[in-house]
Each structure stands twice: as C-alpha cells, then as structure tokens.
Amino acid sequence: MARMKFLCDSERCIECNACVTACKNEHEVPWGINRRRVVTLDDGVPGEKSISVACMHCSDAPCQAVCPVDCFYTTEDGVVLHDKDLCIGCGYCFYACPFGAPQYPQEGAFGARGKMDKCTFCAGGPETDNSPEELEKYGRNRLAEGKLPLCAEMCSTKALLAGDGNIVSELFRNRVVRREGRPEVWGWNTAYKD
Amino acid sequence: MKYLLLIISLSGLSACYQDSDVVFHQAGVYKGQVDLHNVTAADHEALLAARFNQVQTDR
C-alpha cells in the first residue's frame, strides 16, 4: 500500500514561494490562510536553508489523536484528511501539530475560529470526488485525477517531492549519494517514525 | 386569550424536539462522511507511481 509523503530537499529549495502560490491558486485558499509556507533558517546568513512546510500527513498524526470530535481520518494512501462538517474549530490540532499546519479562517465575532483548513495532499475531502461541494470546502482533488500535489509537481528545482514514500526516499537517497553529502530529510523523523 | 395562550405554549414546545441529524460523538471513532473512490487502492498506487516518474524525477 502506498503511503504518500512530502519531502523538501533543503539543498535545492531556492525560496521562490511558487509552491505557496500554486497551492493558493489551485485550491482558491482564502486570504489569511496558507496551507503551505516557505521557512528560511538563518535568513541572510551565508549557508541559509529554506524548506517548504505544510501538513506532513504524519503516520501517527497528533492532530488526529487530540481531536475532541474525531473529525480526522487517514486514507488508504496514507493521507490525513478531515471532515469539515464535524470540525468545531477548537484549535487543539493546531497546538498538537509539530508543523503548524492547521489554519483557521477566523469567521464570526469575538475571534471565533471557523472550520480548520489544512493541506489535503490535493486529495480533497470525504465528499464525492471533484464534486462542487468538495471543491468549495477542501479545494481541488488532484489525486482522484491521477495527479500529484501541484506544489511538488511545479517545483522548478524539484526540491519539493510528493509521492509514495518508498519512491521519494529512493530518489532522495540517489541525490545524496551523487552530491556526497549527508541526508537532511527535514521533518521525516517527526512525521514518519515507522 | 385562551387561543393566544395555546399558540404561545405550542410555539414554545415546538423547540423541544430531537434533531435526528445530530452526530453522536464516540471517542476514537470517526463518524464523518465516508471517502469513497472510483479506483481501487492498488490501481491508484500504480497510477500515482507512473505520474511521479513522469513529472517529478530529477532532470
């Protein structure tokens, strides 16, 4: 069974933010919500590193563990999704997530959070694949169309990889061997312990 | 007056009902909509692997 994973090669990421733009455009993500962000470590210092961060679709997802209404589920592909009809916007998942993935549109008065929104690995939600309801709530379902997440597909330097963990890790391993460096698989030890 | 009282009491009672659409939470159980797909997991895996080789391999 495939287990979909993201991997960002910090040696290749040039902080162009195209993945962020592609994600927002593809899913028509509203203002104030970024399902994906590019984080730069030691910005301005020689040797700075950038990584593209979104939901890592953890094997044992902490968001899923803490959700008081159990609105999360994991697909057969290993993608962690949630049902917005069940979400109460409590924010527990935001505190549990080591990657800061869950986002809230802040609808309503008195700072009330709306339904949580996060990266879906371009797999939509529980609604019928590519239905108008799914598009409105979760964005486009590219996986159902046989495509991979747009952020990774259009990455010009191929820093961001998305796909079956075995294929992604093999590709990355070959890269590391070629450049005779040490692997820096950022986030993998946290997200994919098994 | 009697009719008025009757209408007020009936309208008050109209709020006292149980909505059958409510999802009763059970700890650790996902009770949301089931995510169904047209293709099987194995076929989907092969499809996405082919897509990966097509668009994400090193140049």
Distance CA A72, CA A184 (A): 29
* Contact list, B21 vs chain A (CB under 8 Å): none
Q: What domains lie within chain A, and their CATH numbers? A: 4-191 (3.30.70.20)
Phi, psi dihedral angles at B5 (to 5 degrees): -60, -40
- The chain B residues in contact with chain A (CB within 8 A) are 23, 25-38, 41, 44-45, 47-49, 51-53, 55-59
Angstrom CA distances, A52 to A40, A77, B38, B48, stand at 9, 21, 31, 22
Higher per-residue pLDDT: A47 or A36 = A36
Asked if the Cβ–Cβ distance from A70 to B51 is below 8 Å, we say no
Q: Would you state the pLDDT for residue B8?
A: 86
Q: Would you state the pLDDT for residue A194?
A: 64
Residue B20 confidence class, pLDDT cut points 50, 70, 90:
confident
Over residues A86-138, the pLDDT tens digits come to 999 899 999 999 999 999 987 667 767 889 999 999 999 999 998 999 999 99
* Region A65-78 average pLDDT: 94
Residue B15 confidence class, pLDDT cut points 50, 70, 90:
low
Touching B: A residues 56-75, CB under 8 Å:
68-73, 75
Angstrom CA distances, A168 to A30, A110, A175, A188, stand at 30, 44, 11, 12
For chains A and B, CB pairs below 8 A equal 90
* Contact list, B25 vs chain A (CB under 8 Å): 68-70
The C-alpha of B20 sits at a distance from chain A's nearest C-alpha, in angstroms, of 15
* Contact list, A82 vs chain B (CB under 8 Å): 32
Asked if the Cβ–Cβ distance from A148 to B47 is below 8 Å, we say no
CA max distance for chain A: 55
* Contact list, A147 vs chain B (CB under 8 Å): 51
Interface test with A, best of B34, B40, B48 (most A CBs within 10 A): B48
* Contact list, B49 vs chain A (CB under 8 Å): 2, 163-164, 167
Q: List the alpha helices (DSSP H) in chain A.
A: 18-27, 62-66, 92-96, 132-138, 150-153, 165-179, 188-191
Contact (Cβ atoms closer than 8 angstroms) between residue A40 and residue A15: yes
* Region B34-48 average pLDDT: 89
Q: Is the pLDDT of residue A18 over 90?
A: yes
* Contact list, B32 vs chain A (CB under 8 Å): 71, 73, 82-83, 85-86, 126
